[in-house]
Each structure stands twice: as structure tokens, then as C-alpha cells.
């Protein structure tokens, strides 16, 4: 169970920011004993890998906080975030942590399953993020973009750390994401209905 929660939390984190969960695992594996990456994923703790991830993270942090640019970034990240989610789920669920002592037992026969699961989870979270950002930009005239982006970065970092150290708390993070998803789609529905009502009013009285 903890293996699945660790992988799920890291994949969901990648849906918000592709590089945070990979950086978190790599840094913790390189400088602490909090996570022991399996041999096939040890490249995440390599110095060059961490440097490249840090540069990509810095670029996304800036791009995601500028209205219009954030939308272009979300389009590009449609491929990157699910890929990162697959890597994060695969590496995280196969790692030994303070709560997971036998990671190989969970996905022992079908090693592709965690990667596929991570791709789907990250894609879903990314889809909600991409759908929510235009709503935030329109309702705040663009001023909400950096605030929303910063909140997403903090959420991604928190989810990544919890997934590794206290995976049971990932359930609360997932519940919060479900609530946000419902809010986004309700808000989009209200905006669409209001727009249709405006068009109909203009047609009748214009």
C-alpha cells in the first residue's frame, strides 16, 4: 500500500510541476538516507541530472507565472509532465524509504504498470491545472497567475516530500485535488452558462 501511495503522490506532484518530484527524490537520495533508489533509477541522484533538472525547474517556475506564457507552457508540458509522472511513480514505488522496506514485492511481475499508472495520474492532474489556469487568469485579469503558480509549486513540493516520508498523508492531498477539480469544472460551467445567457440576451434585445 505504501509503495502505491508513494508512487501516486510523486506522480500527482509531477502533474503540477514535472521537475519537483524528480529533484526531490534525487536530492534526498544523494544527500540523505530518506530514500534508497534502486539501481535502475540511481541516475536521478547523479550530479549532472540534478543540475539539468534544477535548470528546467527554474525555467518552468518563471514561465508558469506569466499570463499567456503560462498557457503556452501548459501546452508544452502536456507531454513532459505525464512522462515525469511515469518516471516518478516508477522510481518512487520501487525505492526503499522510511516507510517502505520491501518495495519490490508490490510490482514484482509487471514493472511497466507503475510507469503507466504514473503517466495517467500526472496527465489527469496536469489536465485540471491547465483547465484551471484560464479561469484564474480571466477572473483576476492575469494577476492571479503568479499566486496560483506559487501555490501549485508549494503543493507539488509538499506532496513529493509527504509521498516519501509520510505516504499515508498523500490521501489528504489527493482529496484536496479532487475538491479543486470539482471547483474548476463548476466554475467553467457557470462561465459558459453566463456567456450563453449574454449572447441570448443580445440576440433578443440587440
Element (H, E) at 36: strand 35-36
Residue 35, beta-bridge partner list: 97
Torsion over CA: 145, 151, 157, 163 (sign): negative
CA distance linking residue 115 with residue 93, whole number of Å: 10
Residue closest to 94 by CA, chosen among 178, 37, 22: 37
> Could you read off the pLDDT tens digit of each residue along the chain, which spans 206 residues?
677 788 888 999 999 999 999 999 999 999 998 888 888 888 999 999 999 999 999 999 998 888 888 888 888 899 999 999 998 988 887 777 766 666 665 555 566 677 888 899 999 888 888 887 777 777 777 677 788 888 889 989 998 998 888 878 878 877 887 887 777 677 767 777 667 666 666 666 65
Q: In this predicted structure, what is the pLDDT of residue 57? A: 94
How much is the pLDDT for 43? Answer: 92
Amino acid at each position: 500500500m505504501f509503495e502505491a501511495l508513494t508512487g501516486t503522490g510523486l506522480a500527482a506532484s509531477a502533474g503540477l510541476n514535472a521537475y519537483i518530484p524528480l529533484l526531490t527524490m534525487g536530492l534526498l537520495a544523494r544527500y540523505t538516507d530518506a530514500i534508497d533508489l534502486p539501481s535502475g533509477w540511481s541516475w536521478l541522484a547523479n550530479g549532472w541530472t540534478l543540475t539539468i533538472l534544477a535548470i528546467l525547474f527554474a525555467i518552468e517556475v518563471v514561465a508558469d507565472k506569466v499570463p499567456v506564457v503560462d498557457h503556452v507552457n501548459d501546452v508544452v508540458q502536456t507531454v513532459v509532465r505525464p512522462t515525469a509522472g511515469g518516471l516518478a511513480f516508477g522510481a518512487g514505488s520501487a525505492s526503499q524509504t522510511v516507510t517502505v522496506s520491501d518495495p519490490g514485492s508490490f510490482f514484482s511481475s509487471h514493472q511497466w504498470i507503475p510507469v503507466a499508472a504514473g503517466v495517467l495520474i500526472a496527465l489527469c492532474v496536469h489536465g485540471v491545472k491547465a483547465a484551471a489556469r484560464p479561469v484564474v487568469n480571466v477572473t483576476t485579469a492575469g494577476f492571479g497567475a503568479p499566486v496560483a503558480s506559487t501555490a501549485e509549486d508549494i503543493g507539488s513540493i509538499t506532496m513529493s516530500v509527504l509521498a516519501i516520508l509520510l505516504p499515508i498523508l498523500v490521501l489528504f492531498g489527493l482529496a484536496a485535488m479532487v475538491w479543486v477539480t470539482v471547483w474548476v469544472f463548476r466554475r467553467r460551467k457557470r462561465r459558459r452558462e453566463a456567456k450563453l445567457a449574454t449572447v441570448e440576451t443580445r440576440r433578443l434585445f440587440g
